[in-house]
Structure 1
């Protein structure tokens, strides 16, 4: 099942820490009073952070000698910048922003899976497209009077995405190309999700690339869902990932190994206790449980197969979003 990777605004209770070094990820070792090593994890307001919170509540990280300190960032690129600069120890990122960062020379390593699709999901949706909404938390909503009914119709239209060259643009472009259209003829504009919803309603854009819960907000405003691009682009397996800097992986591999082991145990538990993961997401994001449950059902792969990332790399190259060869195997910590 597809995970819920986007949500509302989050807040996290502060932790009482005894600092034995400088503050921030990579700034010196920090420990709690009971001797746990403190690691800072950056996240965007995403539903899949619920699995991480669930693992924290279950004690999986403490069993590995870690105390997690959560830090919200505006978007995956902000988190990538923070982890690359050793301001935080780990960060959530979807695979496409990660690949873009690697292509631009940012030194990162994949530590674990954060979300994705269960085995067999893609085949099930190909056999029955009506199942897409149960598994894909991303979509394109078109204005009712736009004349857009399929991916190809986006050609020549104004379409909003939250960032250029990132997850939604790439997956939408792939769907348009597969449907016989030319994504180069789309007038892409950058808008955050709330602005995109209002711009769709006002007629500023013809269509908007959105994620839950903004998909339902756009539909409530008169738009119509015409495309679920994530499932068309990604294979079964990990899509969102927890990453760290290459410098931390080299300087303190034991912390990275501990985090990796705790994430794997966390995801195995969350996959078997979806309702608990959804409740944890609602708690972290300070939103009601019904909002979380209204989106697609979450999935939490235990590990990242380098092939999951390699398939993204090859598709980005085919679409012209990536100009160089990248070996995904070398990017997964411990591979």
Structure 2
């Protein structure tokens, strides 16, 4: 995820020199030989992703040949989050990439002409069964979102989708979001942080949330659902000039990505299986985790709600226009 303060040019330069994964970055629309059993030319496309459950569809689609069917050879490269992925797209290291909505909103707010081409992950819309929430330890006096006022809450990155959505949930519940102290704790470390009472509450995503709940924790805010039960969390994006100058490439990627999203939603066991190929999540944990909801459409009303909240709480200088960012 994208930090609020970063040097895009510096980060892009670093990415261009180090190349975030195996192989060298492709140039948008370039061709690479092979990839298919029968040979032939495929267009090599570099895709930046985060090694989390949400990105399962692109791995599944690649395995099942959905992208090859469109004449594309994917070079899937992993990064830690938007702080690397957004500059990677800007520099050309990635042709397309996955990131949460706020990260791309912030980049656009800073003058970068980026746009989504496909959905990536959405809330399940179900309190009690979503991919993330704000967890408190056993015996905590915090019972709901409004009780987080005046407390210390961890998120994986500051000024991003975590704290923005939590502030919105707190205010909707009648609390004062301005009184919350947010600190950064990586998701894998969050269960221990609340168990050891280093923080009062922690925002945690699956599969780490299941661990925290198994340790006796309780969810006091399903913050994505609290913002909107139709909230889209992330998507695949690229530069606007790629969409303009390479429309056929963009359409091919979008078609294959949409097919991958639909397949993932309809085949949860295959999702759990493929997650084990690109993460260290063991089979037992994969079998229990709540899966993301995948859909090919964006909900513009939920997008506006999230964007308005980001502007209200200072994550953005102004609310974004959905038409500028969504397909």
Given that 2:53 and 2:291 are in contact with CA atoms closer than 8 Å, whether structure 1 keeps it comes out as no
Give the one of 300, 308, 327 matched to 1:314.
308
> What are structure 2's unaligned runs of at least 5 residues?
1-19, 35-39
Counterparts of 2:28 and 2:102 in 1: how far apart (Å)?
Answer: 28
Given that 1:237 and 1:301 are in contact with CA atoms closer than 8 Å, whether structure 2 keeps it comes out as no
Given that 1:47 and 1:292 are in contact with CA atoms closer than 8 Å, whether structure 2 keeps it comes out as no
Matched with 1:31 is 32
1:73-99 superposed Cα distances (whole Å, 9 cap, x missing partner): 111332112112211111111112221
Given that 1:48 and 1:281 are in contact with CA atoms closer than 8 Å, whether structure 2 keeps it comes out as no
> What are structure 1's unaligned runs of at least 5 residues?
1-11, 16-22, 126-131
Given that 1:51 and 1:280 are in contact with CA atoms closer than 8 Å, whether structure 2 keeps it comes out as no
Counterparts of 1:259 and 1:78 in 2: how far apart (Å)?
Answer: 21
Give the superposed CA RMSD. 2.4
Give the one of 46, 51, 60 matched to 1:54.
60
Matched with 2:111 is 105
Matched with 1:19 is none
Matched with 2:79 is 73
Matched with 2:261 is 267
Matched, 1:327 2:321: yes
Given that 1:143 and 1:201 are in contact with CA atoms closer than 8 Å, whether structure 2 keeps it comes out as yes
- Note closer, same or farther for the CA distance 1:104–1:198 as it changes in structure 2 (3 Å cut): same
Matched with 2:168 is 174
Secondary structure (helix, strand or coil) at the match of 1:164 reads coil
Shift of 1:278: 2.4
Structure 1 moving runs of 4+ over 4 Å:
12-15, 305-308
Once the two structures are superposed, the pairs formed by residues 270-289 of structure 1 within 5 Å of their partners are: 270-289=264-283
Give the one of 156, 160, 165 matched to 2:159.
165
Question: Which structure would you say has the larger RCO, counting Cα contacts within 8 Å and 6 or more residues apart?
Answer: 1
Shift of 1:140: 1.1
TM-score normalised by structure 2 residue count: 0.84
Number of aligned residues: 303
Give the one of 132, 136, 142 matched to 1:138.
132
Matched with 1:196 is 190
Matched with 1:253 is 247
Given that 1:133 and 1:296 are in contact with CA atoms closer than 8 Å, whether structure 2 keeps it comes out as no
Shift of 1:249: 2.2
Counterparts of 1:325 and 1:213 in 2: how far apart (Å)?
Answer: 32
Shift of 1:24: 1.1
Given that 2:46 and 2:75 are in contact with CA atoms closer than 8 Å, whether structure 1 keeps it comes out as yes
Given that 2:57 and 2:271 are in contact with CA atoms closer than 8 Å, whether structure 1 keeps it comes out as yes
Give the one of 304, 321, 324 matched to 2:298.
304
Counterparts of 1:53 and 1:194 in 2: how far apart (Å)?
Answer: 22
Given that 2:310 and 2:319 are in contact with CA atoms closer than 8 Å, whether structure 1 keeps it comes out as no
Matched, 1:87 2:82: no
Matched with 1:41 is 47
1:191-220 superposed Cα distances (whole Å, 9 cap, x missing partner): 112333322222221111111121122234
Once the two structures are superposed, the pairs formed by residues 165-244 of structure 1 within 5 Å of their partners are: 165-236=159-230, 238-244=232-238
TM-score normalised by structure 1 residue count: 0.82
1:201-257 superposed Cα distances (whole Å, 9 cap, x missing partner): 222211111111211222344433222111111342632201112232233222111
Matched with 2:102 is 96
